[in-house]
Amino acid sequence: MVGGAGPAGGARAILHVDMDAFFASVEVREQPQLRGLPVLVGGAGRRGVVAAASYEARKFGCRSAQPMAVALRLCPQAVVVPPRHALYAEVSRSVFAVFERFSPLVEGLSIDEAFIDLAGTERLWGPPRGVAEALRVAVHQEVGLTCSVGLASVKFLAKIASGMHKPDGLTEIPAGTELEFLTPLPIGELWGVGPRTQEKLQRRGVHTVGDLRRLGEAALVEMFGAHGQHMYRLSLGLDERAVVPDRAAKSLGHEDTYAVDVVGVPALRRCLLSQATRVADRLVAQGLRARCVSLKIRDGDFVTETRQITLPRATDDYREIHGAACRLLEAVDTDGRGFRLTGVSVSQFEAPEREVQLDLLGPASEPPPRSAALQAVLSAVRERHGHQALFPAEAGSERRPGTTGAITHSRPNEPAKRRR
Ligand code: DCP
Ligand code: MG
């Protein structure tokens, strides 16, 4: 799979970069006399564990997470180096700084690996494969380490690809060859297919991704529910997850605090419409769609409730976001309560290509296509002339309640919103 044409026009180009034998390679860089030797980074004591093994040590069967005693039985001549985590963190920052020069869309997965979405970099850097090569050269020249890179149209394939020619490898899965690439792979290569799922599938005679695809969606859903559907989609090479940059928010939303408490469902729905519209505008502006919609509502006594719902497909359409928020509102006891704050936010971002890919599979259960062009135009007009310029008719002609509008961002690890 090395070589071949770059992804066809319109396909996403995603890199997965993973440093080779990271801790061990940093130690070799720091202590050049170690080059070419089997090196084990980890605790040297009897209970020590291998954190990283150089590729020379791996020839003897040494691996990360192995007890050091086992590794040393396999390779008695290995040089054991105690870990220096602060140093690895520092080197990791340098490596990520190189990644970020190539694209703003860098999502770190661990200290030594990241997804990089090359969307929009073509004019500056040229075709994706060249970018992948240039990135590998830059990391080597500037940080003194090698990495392995996978290039594919979706995240999970890029991740599989980066592992295929380690160390110091570049593996591309050209757009259009995804199915052919996946068919012979063992099912364990798919993300989220753990040993128990594998065992269950193997009992049904499913060993490769091709077998899984042949088993079909219905059988997989029967066996594993939603996870079965997910695996089936992966077997088709479909993975809609966006590369979400570390610096960017993992959710976005808009909330308003009202000067006078809002009473009654119709008024609340209007508030939510205003917020859904603003959220949709920002999704469009960022080229994202979201699957999860959250409602936040706080009453006059400061009792705050948050609820969320996952949509069957990702959207950037204010009507769908508003509809979801209103469904969430139905679960709130609004009788005799006035509300001082409402907010709508969205999360679980996806890249927009998904819809196109689904269309290739046939329209079967998909809702009617969203008017992307219309939404983009509405958003652009509001962007230029202010939010009131084009407000959906459903909002009514009255002005929305006096507000202190606030845009919310949050990261996934933020503590859950408390309910008072
Ligand atoms: N690590 C660790 N304990 C583990 C696995 C990994 O401390 N059980 C640390 C040491 C590794 C680093 O994380 O160097 C990166 O992990 P990888 O899984 O990427 O492994 P390597 O980079 O060492 O090797 P590879 O070339 O296979 O990526
Ligand atoms: Mg690594």
Residues 213 and 101 in one domain: no
Q: How confident is the model at residue 370 (pLDDT cuts 50, 70, 90)?
A: very low
CA-atom Rg of the chain in angstroms: 25
| 189 in the same domain as 170 | no
Which comes out higher in pLDDT, residue 125 or 8? 125
**Residue 381 domain-assigned (yes or no):** yes
**pLDDT level of residue 375 (50, 70, 90 thresholds):** low
Question: Which range is least confidently modeled, 187-201, 222-236, 259-273, 339-353?
Answer: 339-353
Decide if pLDDT at 391 tops 60: no
CA-based max dimension of the chain = 81
Annotated binding site for Mg(2+): 18, 112
- Single-letter code of the amino acid located at 80: V
pLDDT tens digits for range 201-237: 999 999 999 999 999 999 999 999 988 999 999 999 9
Both 147 and 209 in one domain: the answer is no
Provide the pLDDT for residue 240. Answer: 87
Q: Is 155 in the same domain as 271? A: no
User: What are the φ and ψ backbone dihedral angles of 48, each rounded to 5 degrees?
Assistant: -65, 155
Given a contact cutoff of 8 angstroms between Cβ atoms, the answer to whether 174 and 181 are in contact is no
Assign 9 to helix, strand or coil.
Answer: coil
Mean pLDDT to the nearest integer, 276-300: 91
Asked if 107 and 246 count as a contact pair (C-beta separation under 8 A), the reply is yes
Measure 148 CA to ligand 1 centroid, in angstroms.
13
Closest ligand 1 atom to residue 83 Cα is 7
Residue 365 phi/psi, 5° resolution? -105, 10
pLDDT value at residue 8? 39
373 or 138, which is more confident?
138
DSSP, res 402: P
What number is the average pLDDT over the span 235-255?
A: 86
Confidence band for 292, pLDDT divided at 50, 70 and 90: very high
Q: What is the mean pLDDT of residues 41-54?
A: 92
Question: Is-contact 171 150, C-beta < 8 A?
Answer: yes
CA distance 51 to 46: 15
Which of 4-13, 20-29, 114-123, 241-250 has the highest average model confidence (pLDDT)?
Answer: 20-29
pLDDT at 122: 85
Domain identity same for 325 and 210: no
Domain count, the chain: 3
pLDDT of 293 reads 97
Q: Domain span at residue 227?
A: 183-235
Q: Does the CB atom of residue 178 touch ligand 1 within 6 A?
A: no
pLDDT reported for residue 28: 98
Specify whether 14 is located in the same domain as 42.
yes
Atom 12 (ligand 1): residue with closest C-alpha? 22
Q: What is the CATH number of the domain that holds 189?
A: 1.10.150.20
Using the predicted structure, report yes or no on whether residue 279 has a pLDDT greater than 80: yes
Q: How many residues does the chain have?
A: 420
Cα angle value 391/257/290 (rounded, 5°): 55
Binned at pLDDT 50, 70 and 90, residue 284 comes out as: confident
- The alpha carbon of 413 and the centre of ligand 1 are apart by a number of angstroms equal to 23
Residue 246 lies in a domain: no
- Which of 154, 174, 194 finishes a domain? 174
264 sits in the region (left: phi over 0; alpha: psi -120 to 50; else beta) called left
What is the average pLDDT across 165-170?
98
Mean per-residue pLDDT for 383-409? 51
- pLDDT in the model for residue 246: 77
Same domain, 140 and 206: no
For residues 28 and 36, is the Cβ–Cβ distance under 8 A? no
Which ligand sits closest to the CA of 52? 1
3-class SS at 80?
A: strand
Q: What is the pLDDT of residues 58-99, one digit of tens each?
A: 999 999 999 999 999 999 999 999 999 999 989 999 999 999
366 is catalytic: no
* More confident site: 390 or 397: 390
Ligand 1: which residue has its CA nearest to atom 3? 51
Last residue of one domain, picked from the residues 124, 145, 174:
174
65 lines ligand 1 (CB under 6 A): yes
Question: How far does residue 234's CA lie from ligand 2's centre (Å)?
Answer: 23
DSSP 101-167: HH-S-EEEEETTEEEEE-TT-HHHH-SHHHHHHHHHHHHHHHH---EEEEEESSHHHHHHHHTTT-S
Task: Report the candidate in 81, 152, 141 with the shortest Cα–Cα distance to residue 115.
Answer: 152
* pLDDT of 397 strictly over 60: no
- What is the pLDDT at residue 349? 87
pLDDT at 156: 96
Residues 214 and 335 in one domain: no
For residue 170, the CA-to-ligand 1 centroid distance in Å is 18
Ligand 1 pocket, 20 CB below 6 A?
yes
108-112: list long-range contacts, CB under 8 Å, 24+ apart. Answer: 108/246, 111/22, 112/18, 112/19, 112/22
Same domain membership, residue 259 and residue 231: no
Catalytic residue among 27, 56, 107, 113: 113
Specify the pLDDT at position 244.
85
d(C-alpha 369, C-alpha 325), whole Å: 20
Considering the domain architecture, whether residues 23 and 111 belong to the same structural domain is answered as yes
- The reply to whether ligand 1 has any atom less than 6 angstroms from the CB of 18 is yes
Q: Any bridge partners for residue 186, and if so which?
A: 208
CATH at 93: 3.30.70.270
> In the β-sheet with 39-42, what is the strand arrangement from edge to edge?
50-53, 39-42, 79-81
Given this model, what pLDDT does residue 395 score?
Answer: 47
Stretch 3-7: mean pLDDT: 34
Average pLDDT over residues 188-205: 92
Whether 124 shows a pLDDT value over 90: the answer reads no
**Is 210 found in the same domain as 132?**
no
Helix (H) or strand (E) holding 55: helix 55-58
Residue 20 to residue 34: CA distance in whole angstroms: 16
pLDDT for the residue 338: 94
For the chain, give the mean pLDDT: 85
The reply to whether 35 and 108 lie within a common domain is yes
Choose the residue to mutate in 17, 18, 20, 22 for probing ligand 1, maximizing ligand atoms within 8 Å of C-beta: 22
Q: Which helix (DSSP H) or strand (DSSP E) does residue 179 occupy?
A: helix 178-182
**381: CATH:** 3.30.1490.100
